[in-house]
Amino acid sequence: MGEAAARGRKSIGAKRNPESADAIVKAAEAVLREAGYAGFSIEAVARRARAGKPTIYRWWPSKAALLIEIYQRQKRVETPDTGNIEDDLAGFLENLFAHWRDTPSGNIFRSLIAEAQSDETAAAALAEYSKGRRSHTGRMIERAKARGEVAADVDAGIVADLIASFAWRHLLTGRLDEDAAAIRAAVRYLVRGIGQAS
């Protein structure tokens, strides 16, 4: 890389320089694509991006944090809002399974979950990410409450955890080819449990 390009990507301290951050993430994606999760390291990313390791660690405190950013950038999963909770949840799970199955994201997320079992920083990064996803999924339940489909005393966060558990089990056991009818049946059982009493 020439001096002019290097000057154009100077660090601006703890606040991320968008151009430098983007170059690092693109380098990380390339390392992951070429070397896989086993060959992914901050050192390899730093070499590829021609960036200092301290800069990377200042913006992403762990390998897992950087991987989660890659995962989030790649994730394109539509969250339906059909006006019906069963259709919303079934559609969401079908979209998520297809994304995990048809893109590198499934392998990235599976590896992150595996690393979190023995690495505290990975576990913390995954927990923080999951907190945001729990809130996101919970909004589908809150919308259904407002429509009167779901009982008012149902905890949307717990329902979101149940949905995540179903999804993660399929990811971790390589069952992302579950057909739409089976997904809908599981969702139907859940919806019956949280629905308004007739």
Q: Report pLDDT digits (tens) over 30-71.
A: 999 999 888 999 999 999 999 999 999 999 999 999 999 999
Is the pLDDT reported for residue 26 higher than 80?
yes
Is the pLDDT reported for residue 129 higher than 50?
yes
Structural fold of domain 70-190: Tetracycline Repressor; domain 2 (1.10.357)
The answer to whether 137 and 92 are in contact (CB under 8 A) is yes
**Sequence-distant (≥ 6) Cβ neighbours of residue 9 within 8 angstroms:** 17, 19, 20, 23, 51
Crossing angle of helices 120-146 and 63-74, rounded to 10°: 30
CATH 1.10.10.60 placement within the chain: 16-58
Which pTM does this prediction carry?
0.83
Q: Mean pLDDT across the stretch 82-100?
A: 97
Is the pLDDT reported for residue 8 higher than 60?
no
Structural fold of domain 16-58: Arc Repressor Mutant, subunit A (1.10.10)
